[in-house]
């Protein structure tokens, strides 16, 4: 116990003063009487002249002394330290990942999910919040993905807290709980989850974790992708993993556009995975919806199906616009199996044809249009200003000294060591990256300074158009032996074409893990774009926004551009940590009472609680009792 106003205890000196007052001899007046026979009992006291008398036992004195004691203690504001289930500042995090949709227990009669149990326990924690306590409810999925939550403030309004718990959605996605460490210094954090201890190993000791659910066997699809064999025939790769204690045989079905295509019976060992490959060589090379499905009813239904988009691969049209013959480059492009190659002159070239257009010492006027084309552009020694880069000077005898080997165009290309007879220095745009640099002796400078110039650079303009520039005549053997001295020249050209190829898709990937954001192509952000989810709900994308984050529903999404279907992508769970429902601690909760009972075994918060009202109440009772005793003694003396 401690006192918040200890100086008030000085008033305890009033108690000995009270005793001293009761010890004082009362002043008597002289009275003449006819006989002292009736006053014989007090004659002894009458004969003394002392100021104090012997203290007699008195109930009034005892009551008055205790009244002063309890009153002074109450004014000193006594407090007691006790362990609280919930402190005054609480951050309550409810795990709403995919595994929380599993049943709370393996008993078939209990249909309550782990998420339902977690929310029920959260409601009781709100009811246990003290009068001056505050609580904050956090969405674990939004916290895991660093997404902004609309209401992120602590409050003592229990109705609002109950409403936030009821409105918390279940996400069919993976949740990383390691982000909770940022709240330890500000709040006492209570986490309600079914994640096994290995996932929570990085959490701080100050986070109090309540586990919900029972260990349940489960089998799920952990991977689905399109592969090709050595003959470039398409195959479907499916990985199935069993999370349980006993072997199991399951039927795996493959559906094309929701129609049965093939099936396999697979035998799974405990905690092992099996790989199944389906041959799709007979499938028409067109848009197809592929579904892999397990014929089973287990703890988690979200991982029993997986989806994929199958469509034919399109080769880009590459056009070389040149008024001369460039045999090295022409041969490299003509023999590339991944492109359709066409050559044209400046007069015969159609500006609207070609996915990749290579201009040999040519800068056509249509490249300066304000509206950028979807074509990728490549310039070979243009020797003129470009709409996005100025030609600064012409150089003589440039030595290559450095290259950007980590760029996709330059990967696995050995360090270049050669000299170029003539080159042009261009102003490097802010969006471009220098791939090959050299030291050049500028012919128009009197001091012959050595300049570091970008000879080859590439980049993507803000509108999405890709551009690559060679500042020298790379494939003219009279100007440079660049094309002959580099053994990796075919690889360089192939990687260059691959990088310049415009993506036919409106998104970066047609298959994502549920919950991950999707980046849309910049060429559609200035148009009316919407996303139709697997549950048929349509979400409009605001103008100039190319990120879509609502991907927690398993299935195939459709991209709508100006009201028309323009692309598709699939979202799958593919998370072993969410599919594994059998690694929970032994001390878990399968009902609300057992979940909250875990709080008693955890490190509980210590809090000083004021108890001044208890001695104040005792002082009031003593005061009333003293008044009653005094009134009775007064009546008796009469």
Share of the chain above pLDDT 90, in %: 31
Sign of CA dihedral 170, 172, 177, 182: negative
Section 66-83 average pLDDT:
83
* Residue 127: per-residue pLDDT: 83
* Residue 446: per-residue pLDDT: 38
Residue 445 has pLDDT above 70, yes or no: no
User: By the 8 A CB rule, do 240 and 220 touch?
Assistant: yes
Choose among 411, 410, 460: nearest CA to 432: 460
Residue 169 has pLDDT above 60, yes or no: yes
Residue 268 has pLDDT above 90, yes or no: yes
Residue 427 has pLDDT above 50, yes or no: yes
Section 487-498 average pLDDT:
85
Beta-sheet pairing, 529-532 with 555-561: antiparallel
Residue 369 has pLDDT above 70, yes or no: no
Question: For 20-24, 269-273, 353-357, 534-538, which range has the lowest pLDDT when averaged over its residues?
Answer: 20-24
d(Cα 530, Cα 513) in Å, to the nearest integer?
20
Burial class (CB in 10 A: 0-12, 13-18, 19+), 106: middle
d(Cα 490, Cα 333) in Å, to the nearest integer?
9
What does each C-alpha distance from 49 to 153, 170, 312 come to in angstroms?
Answer: 76, 91, 125
Q: What is the pLDDT of residues 285-301, one digit of tens each?
A: 788 999 999 999 888 99
* Residue 449: per-residue pLDDT: 41
pLDDT confidence band for 28 (50 / 70 / 90): low
Residue 328 has pLDDT above 80, yes or no: yes
Domains and CATH numbers, the chain: 2-29+36-82+611-637 (no CATH), 86-215+583-603 (3.40.50), 219-313 (2.60.40.10), 317-500 (3.40.50.880), 511-572 (2.60.40)
pLDDT confidence band for 415 (50 / 70 / 90): low
- Sheet with 218-228, side-by-side order of all strands: 218-228, 234-243, 273-279
Structure tokens at 262: 């093939």
For residue 221, the cross-strand partners are 240
Residue 305 has pLDDT above 90, yes or no: yes
Section 617-632 average pLDDT:
88
Burial class (CB in 10 A: 0-12, 13-18, 19+), 99: buried
For residue 265, the cross-strand partners are 251
Residue 452 has pLDDT above 80, yes or no: no
* Residue 82: per-residue pLDDT: 60
Residue 52 has pLDDT above 80, yes or no: no
What does each C-alpha distance from 423 to 377, 392, 394, 472, 597 come to in angstroms?
Answer: 19, 11, 6, 4, 77
Find the angle CA(613)-CA(618)-CA(624) to the nearest 5 degrees: 125
Place of tokens 């056009």: 319
Three-class SS of 127-181: HCCCCCCEEEEEEHHHHHCCCCCCCCCCECCHHHHHHHHHHCCCCCCCCCHHHHH
pLDDT confidence band for 96 (50 / 70 / 90): very high
d(Cα 34, Cα 46) in Å, to the nearest integer?
17
User: By the 8 A CB rule, do 240 and 308 touch?
Assistant: no
pLDDT confidence band for 443 (50 / 70 / 90): very low
Q: What is the pTM of this model?
A: 0.63
Across the chain, mean pLDDT equals 82
User: By the 8 A CB rule, do 250 and 263 touch?
Assistant: no
The conformation of residue 427, written as its DSSP 8-state character, comes to P
* Residue 514: per-residue pLDDT: 94
d(Cα 112, Cα 92) in Å, to the nearest integer?
21
Higher pLDDT, 597 or 86: 597
DSSP secondary structure letters along 326-353: -HHHHHHHHT-TTSEEEEE-TTT--TT-
Q: Which residues contact 67 (CB under 8 A, 6 or more apart)?
A: 619, 622, 623, 626
d(Cα 123, Cα 160) in Å, to the nearest integer?
11
User: By the 8 A CB rule, do 95 and 177 touch?
Assistant: yes
Question: For 212-221, 287-296, 297-306, 414-423, which range has the lowest pLDDT when averaged over its residues?
Answer: 414-423
User: By the 8 A CB rule, do 17 and 65 touch?
Assistant: no
Section 499-516 average pLDDT:
83
- 80: Cα separation from own chain's centroid: 41
Choose among 26, 19, 20: nearest CA to 61: 19
pLDDT confidence band for 203 (50 / 70 / 90): low
Helices 14-23 and 59-75, packing angle to 10 deg: 160
Three-class SS of 372-425: CCCCEEEEECCCCCECCECEEEEEEEEEEEEECCCCCCCCCCCCCCCEEEEEEE
What does each C-alpha distance from 562 to 463, 528, 529, 541 come to in angstroms?
Answer: 19, 5, 6, 11
3-state SS of the chain: helix, strand, coil percent to 5?
25, 35, 40
73-83 burial, b at 16+ Cβ within 10 Å, e below that, comes to bbbbebbeeee
Residue 402 has pLDDT above 90, yes or no: no
The conformation of residue 492, written as its DSSP 8-state character, comes to H
* Residue 447: per-residue pLDDT: 40
How many C-beta neighbours within 10 Å does residue 49 have? 6
- 417: Cα separation from own chain's centroid: 47
Residue 232 has pLDDT above 60, yes or no: yes
Sign of CA dihedral 560, 561, 567, 572: negative
Question: For 186-195, 242-251, 506-515, 578-587, which range has the lowest pLDDT when averaged over its residues?
Answer: 578-587
Sign of CA dihedral 342, 344, 350, 355: positive
d(Cα 129, Cα 467) in Å, to the nearest integer?
61
Q: Which residues contact 323 (CB under 8 A, 6 or more apart)?
A: 345, 346, 360, 362
d(Cα 386, Cα 495) in Å, to the nearest integer?
24
Question: For 181-190, 198-207, 515-524, which range has the lowest pLDDT when averaged over its residues?
Answer: 198-207
Q: What is the pLDDT of residues 549-575, one digit of tens each?
A: 999 999 999 999 888 988 899 999 999
d(Cα 426, Cα 473) in Å, to the nearest integer?
14
């Amino acid at each position: 116990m401690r006192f918040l106003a200890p100086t008030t205890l000085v008033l305890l000196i009033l108690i000995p003063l009270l005793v001293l007052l009761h010890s004082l001899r009362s002043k008597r007046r002289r009275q003449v009487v006819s006989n002292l026979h009736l006053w014989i009992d007090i004659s002894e006291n009458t004969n003394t002249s002392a100021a104090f008398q012997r203290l007699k036992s008195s109930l009034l004195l005892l009551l008055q002394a205790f009244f002063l004691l309890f009153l002074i203690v109450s004014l000193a504001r006594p407090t007691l330290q006790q362990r609280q289930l919930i402190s005054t500042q609480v951050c309550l995090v409810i795990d709403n990942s995919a595994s929380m949709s599993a049943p709370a227990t393996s008993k078939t009669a209990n249909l309550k999910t782990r998420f339902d149990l977690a929310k029920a326990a959260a409601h009781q924690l709100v009811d246990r919040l003290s009068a001056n306590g505050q609580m904050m409810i956090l969405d674990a999925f939004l916290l895991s993905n660093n997404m902004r939550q609309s209401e992120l403030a602590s409050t003592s309004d229990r109705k609002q807290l109950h409403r936030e718990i009821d409105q918390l959605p279940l996400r069919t996605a993976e949740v990383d709980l390691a982000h909770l460490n940022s709240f330890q210094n500000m709040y006492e954090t209570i986490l309600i989850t079914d994640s096994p201890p290995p996932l929570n190993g990085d959490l701080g000791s100050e986070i109090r974790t309540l586990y919900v659910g029972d260990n349940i066997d489960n089998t799920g699809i952990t991977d689905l992708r399109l592969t090709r064999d050595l003959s470039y025939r398409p195959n479907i790769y499916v990985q199935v993993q069993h999370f349980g204690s006993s072997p199991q045989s399951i039927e795996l079905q493959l559906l094309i556009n929701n129609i049965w295509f093939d099936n396999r019976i697979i035998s799974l060992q405990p905690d092992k995975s099996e790989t199944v490959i389906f041959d799709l060589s007979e499938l028409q090379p067109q848009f197809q919806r592929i579904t892999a499905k397990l014929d089973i009813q287990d703890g988690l239904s979200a991982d029993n199906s997986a989806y994929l988009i199958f469509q034919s691969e399109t080769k880009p049209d590459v056009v070389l616009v040149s008024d001369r013959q460039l045999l090295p480059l022409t041969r490299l492009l003509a023999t590339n199996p991944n492109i359709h190659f066409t050559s044209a002159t400046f007069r015969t070239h159609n500006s609207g044809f070609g996915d990749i257009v290579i201009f040999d010492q040519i800068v056509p006027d249509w490249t300066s249009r304000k509206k950028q084309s979807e074509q990728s552009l490549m310039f070979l020694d243009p020797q003129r200003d470009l709409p996005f880069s100025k030609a600064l000077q012409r150089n003589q005898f440039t030595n290559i000294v450095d290259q950007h080997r980590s760029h996709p165009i330059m990967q696995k290309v050995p360090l270049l060591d050669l000299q170029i007879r003539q080159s042009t220095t261009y102003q490097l745009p802010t969006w471009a990256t220098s791939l090959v640099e050299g030291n050049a002796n500028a012919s128009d400078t009197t001091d012959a300074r050595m300049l570091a110039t970008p000879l080859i650079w590439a980049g993507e303009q803000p509108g999405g158009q890709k551009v690559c520039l060679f500042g020298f005549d790379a494939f003219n053997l009279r100007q440079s032996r660049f094309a002959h001295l580099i053994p990796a020249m075919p690889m360089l050209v192939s990687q260059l074409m691959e990088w310049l190829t415009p993506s036919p898709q409106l998104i970066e990937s047609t298959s994502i893990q549920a919950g991950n954001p999707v980046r849309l192509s910049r060429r559609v952000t200035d148009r009316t774009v919407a996303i139709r989810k697997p549950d048929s709900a349509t979400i409009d994308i605001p103008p100039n926004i190319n990120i879509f984050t609502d991907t927690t529903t398993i299935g195939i999404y459709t991209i709508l551009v100006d009201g028309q279907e323009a692309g598709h992508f699939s979202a799958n769970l593919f998370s072993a940590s969410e599919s594994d429902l059998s690694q929970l601690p032994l001390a878990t909760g399968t009902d609300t009472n057992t979940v909250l009972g875990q709080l008693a075994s955890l490190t509980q918060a210590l809090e000083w609680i004021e108890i001044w009202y208890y001695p104040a109440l005792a002082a009031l009772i003593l005061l009333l009792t003293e008044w009653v005793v005094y009134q009775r003694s007064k009546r008796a003396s009469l």
